[in-house]
Chains A and B, each alone.
Chain A
Amino acid sequence: MYSLCARRTLPVLLTVIAPAFCQIQNQPDDGQWTMPAKNYASTRFSTLTEVNTGNVKGLKLAWTFSTGLTRGHEAAPLIVNNTMYIVTPWPNILYALDLTKPGAPLKWQYSPQPTAAAQGVACCDVVNRGAAYYNGRIYYNTLDVQTICVDANTGKEVWKARLGDINSGESITMAPIVAKGVVIVGNSGGEFGARGWLAGVDADTGKLRWKAYATGPDKDVLIGPGFKPFYAQDRGPDLGVKSWPGELWKIGGGNAWGWVSYDPDLDLIYYGTANASPWNPDQRPGENKWCSTLFARRPETGEAIWAYQLNPHDEHDYDGVNENILLDLNIRGQMRKVLAHPDRNGRMYIMDRGTGEVLSAEPFAFLNTSFGVDLKTGKLNVNQAKSTGYKTTRDMCPAPPGGKDWQPSAFSPKTGWLYVPHNNLCFEMQGTQANYISGTPYLGATVRMYAGPGGHRGEFSAYDPVSNKTIWMVKEIFPAWSGALVTAGDVVFYGTMDGWFKALDARNGTLLWQFKVGSGIISQPVTYKGPDGKQYLAVLSGVGGWAGAIVSGGLNPKDGTGALGFMNAMADLPNHTTKGGMLYVFSLP
């Protein structure tokens, strides 16, 4: 993949616009949607303008497609060569729809037939966050720890690679990206004691090129002489062993189940690792590296270039897996190549993506578990009054799903703002609860989550990553659990768990249009130019995931500690939506 700036040479000459066009956020856009985050910078920004603030209120349903499944639908549809590709939750069927024909009939479907046992053996939910297109092929992961390559035209399987063992508690729910001919994949399963890794698989052959563990000795983490973390606490040999008691690093978690972005100029991929395991922080004294950490690695070798631990010795289940949006911003008078990372801990990290230096880390959501990040030392100043362990702690914000969970933000180069769907949840942890698994009674912490200040559980914000201010914010009854999409028509789109697909004015947050779909939305909306030249918007509905398990899993609303304590905050969701996977596509008449 050649430089993005080079690709922009022609338009730059034509429009005679200054070097701003070399900014990574100004990506070429052919009206297709080839990876869940739209581009390697992960902006989820489309240059299409047919639908804009002036006419979006005229959007009409164009066609629909049922997946026939009732679990949570988190994926982004892909649109390539007039074909739409959809990955379902388990059993992870890949559908190809022909956009050239009226009603977009099914072109083919590919069924990987993941082991049924995956349901009982795999972790928390059966969602899938989507596929990636690369060189005529579709790449995606299955719940039973396989990466699959399918011919985009024919639907024929090219290769299948088994990267882990569901019998060890591993699974995969994340969407891969493909960079420099390498498919980048990470596992889930920290809740089952599965050790986290990110892997690089050869896009042509399916052969494993590298696997980088989140814990353990440097050779397992792929830390070598090229590793140059910005801060002192992230330097030293074998910290992935030494920051743990005994052998606990072997089950330490740090799974890479979230998003991966890529900067072709710096040749670095960026991703975060999940929280540390076991849950009781008293049992793992130490910083527990490299959990809850951002990594920059080479896509071809996996070599670690820098790392920054966001939440050392995490006590609140703050995974570091959220998206990293790559931006070139003027910060304090200087152009900086940064990444924007809205973390579970409620802070928006703006970091130099070449070095791992933290430039700012201000709150984007209500929080009280930390006071700030010391920009000199990079250390998070933790509020000791909100520490957990084997004791009762109340009024901790944000809750384990974080100021924000996996639901990805968007960035508009037109406004210069991030559009952040997020949560407003607090929690308490107290006492214990009898549980029983595999013949063994045990006790887990009783976690209860509830709405944060204001009583609403979700928020959708426009956030200025330069001034670090929330420009506008819309309250949602439920956590805003869908991804965001923003367009050059200055419209921002997202869906709500109670089933509204919404269009807001990107400048001021005014609601311009909304449509009630059949089931709550927890997926990623996309937009594309159809074969007829018109702009379309597509979104999957189908509530579920961690937040929506009360509906898709039929949990008992009286058990507030269900779904790891999320139930308490979601007891009324079944009054607002029912389950069922359906794709909705909209356009102007």
Chain B
Amino acid sequence: MFSRCLSCVWLSLLFLLQCFGSDRVLRVCADPNNLPFSNQAQQGFENRLAELLARDLGLNVTYSWWSMRKGFVRNALNEHVCDVLMSMPSDSDMVEVTRPYYRSTYVFVSRKDRDLAIRSLNDPQLAKLKIGVHLVGNDFAPPAHVLAARGITGNVVPFLLYGPYGEVNPPSKLIYAVADGDVDLAIVWGPFAGYFAQKAAVPLEIVQVSPEGWRTLPFTFSIALAVRKGDDALRAELDGALQHQCSAIEALLNQYGVPQVSGGRLPCASSH
């Protein structure tokens, strides 16, 4: 009786392995040119995370390279070009999201040797400094809206998040502009700052912007994996893998210098 049951277990395990083994793949849409998130050489933390989760689930990763611009959810994920997006804000309503795996913030980036000590979007120095901000499509990144409300517009320098896309990691230009002294200060999404500050020729200071939001505009966001609406099974699998790999993910994010703020996700269980 007992042994029969055991063999049942073995059989079903075998069956599971066949179902979820190497012939099942994790189909990921990723930007081919956008470190620290992803690139075609698979050097981004989203690439590493995909490998980590796939291994946990006994899958292989396949990529569809797609520039993550306007319409990519509709044209890529929803057209079944792939099944997973590696990061979306956890309150996105166009997709189904997993539990968030990190929470980051917009940050100030300046050269350490400038000693600007800017911590707040209300700092009077902001009226005089040359400030670089990403332009997302034709919309400035959130903190620029606060500056505009304070009448600070003439010294805000737009950097196209999208391009020139023919060059390597277009968003990095903003951080290198700080290092090169082309702008005094950048206000930028944390993961860009943390990663490219590591690569910059001079030491850079990274400080979380405060306040954490303005009116209905938050400056911190929780980031999760995303699947198509209704793809509950895959979401559940990914949620499980995120939990198993929690500590490894933590290490990965630290390695890439992703500035993290608390409150976005559950702490890793101590047993792992």
- Chain A residues in contact with chain B, CB under 8 A? 117, 119-121, 123-124, 165, 167-169, 190-193, 245-248, 250-251, 253, 277-280, 282-285, 390, 431-432, 434-444, 553-556, 559, 562
Contacts and interface: CB of A to CB of B under 8 A. Distances in A.
14 contacts: A120-B75, A169-B163, A191-B137, A193-B138, A251-B135, A278-B139, A431-B216, A436-B92, A437-B72, A437-B137, A439-B189, A442-B136, A553-B71, A553-B74
Nearest to A276: B138
B189 A246 contact: no
A413 to B, nearest CB: 41
B161 A390 contact: no
A468 B74 CA distance: 43
Contacts of B191: 439
Interface stretch (B16-24, B61-69, B246-254): B61-69
A252 to B, nearest CB: 9
A167 B162 CA distance: 8
Given A168-B164, A438-B162, A283 B67 contact: no
Given A251-B135, A278-B138, 12 more contacts: A192-B138, A246-B154, A246-B157, A248-B158, A390-B148, A390-B149, A436-B88, A437-B70, A438-B34, A438-B68, A440-B192, A442-B139
B145 A283 contact: yes
B149 A120 contact: no
Contacts of B223: 441
A390 B138 contact: no
A93 B115 CA distance: 58
Nearest to B229: A556
Given A245-B154, A439-B189, A559-B94, A253 B215 contact: no
Contact of B160 (A121, A169, A247, A283): A169
A442 B161 CA distance: 11
Most buried by B among A117, A121, A191, A559: A121
Contacts of A121: 67, 69, 162, 165
Most buried by B among A169, A440, A444: A440
Interface string B134-154: 111111111011001101011
B139 A279 contact: yes
Contacts of B148: 280, 282-283, 390
Contacts of A434: 89, 91-92, 221
A120 B153 contact: no
Given A193-B162, A247-B158, A434-B91, A554 B31 contact: no
B153 A168 contact: no
A434 B217 CA distance: 9
A283 B144 CA distance: 8
Contact of B158 (A250, A439, A553): A250
Contacts of B89: 434-436, 441
Nearest to A278: B138
Contact of A168 (B68, B136, B140, B163): B163
Nearest to A553: B74
A276 B263 CA distance: 38
A246 B134 CA distance: 15
A95 B1 CA distance: 74
B87 interface: yes
B78 interface: yes
Contact of B70 (A191, A278, A439): A191
B105 to A, nearest CB: 10
B139 A438 contact: no
A441 to B, nearest CB: 4
Contacts of B76: 120
Nearest to B76: A120
User: How extensive is the interface on chain B, given as a class?
Assistant: 35 or more
Given A439-B34, A439-B171, A443-B142, A117 B217 contact: no
Given A190-B138, A390-B215, A554-B78, A438 B164 contact: no
Given A169-B163, A284-B153, A559-B94, A439 B138 contact: no
B156 interface: yes
Most buried by A among B76, B145, B157: B145
A113 B2 CA distance: 66
Contacts of A193: 135, 137-138, 158, 160, 162
A432 B67 CA distance: 24
Nearest to B33: A438
Contacts of B74: 553-555, 562
A169 B162 contact: yes
A278 B140 contact: yes
A246 B70 contact: no
A192 to B, nearest CB: 6
Contacts of B101: none
A436 B87 contact: yes
B164 A439 contact: no
Contacts of B218: 443
Nearest to B156: A246
Nearest to A285: B153
Interface in B146-192: 148-149, 151, 153-158, 160-166, 170-171, 189, 191-192
A120 B216 CA distance: 30
Nearest to A392: B216
A167 B163 contact: yes
A390 B145 contact: yes
A34 to B, nearest CB: 35
* Closest 9 pairs between A and B when the two form their complex, measured CB to CB: A277-B138, A167-B165, A245-B153, A245-B154, A439-B37, A167-B166, A441-B221, A246-B154, A283-B148
Contact of B138 (A246, A250, A253): A253
B160 A441 contact: no
A306 B70 CA distance: 36
B184 to A, nearest CB: 13
A440 B161 contact: yes
Contacts of A283: 140, 144-145, 148, 153, 156
A253 B135 CA distance: 13
B209 to A, nearest CB: 14
B123 interface: no
A201 B260 CA distance: 52
A435 B217 CA distance: 12
B164 A165 contact: yes
A193 B140 CA distance: 10
A121 to B, nearest CB: 5
Contact of A438 (B69, B78, B149, B157): B69
Contacts of A282: 145, 148-149, 153
B113 interface: no
Contacts of A562: 74
Contacts of B141: 440, 442
Most buried by A among B66, B135, B163: B163
Contacts of B71: 124, 553
A522 B134 CA distance: 35
A286 to B, nearest CB: 9
Contacts of A390: 145, 148-149, 215
B158 A192 contact: no
A542 to B, nearest CB: 18
B201 to A, nearest CB: 23
A253 B137 CA distance: 11
B138 A191 contact: yes
B165 A437 contact: no
B216 to A, nearest CB: 5
Contacts of B31: 438-439
A283 B91 CA distance: 26
Interface string B190-221: 01100000000000000000000001111001
B37 A443 contact: no
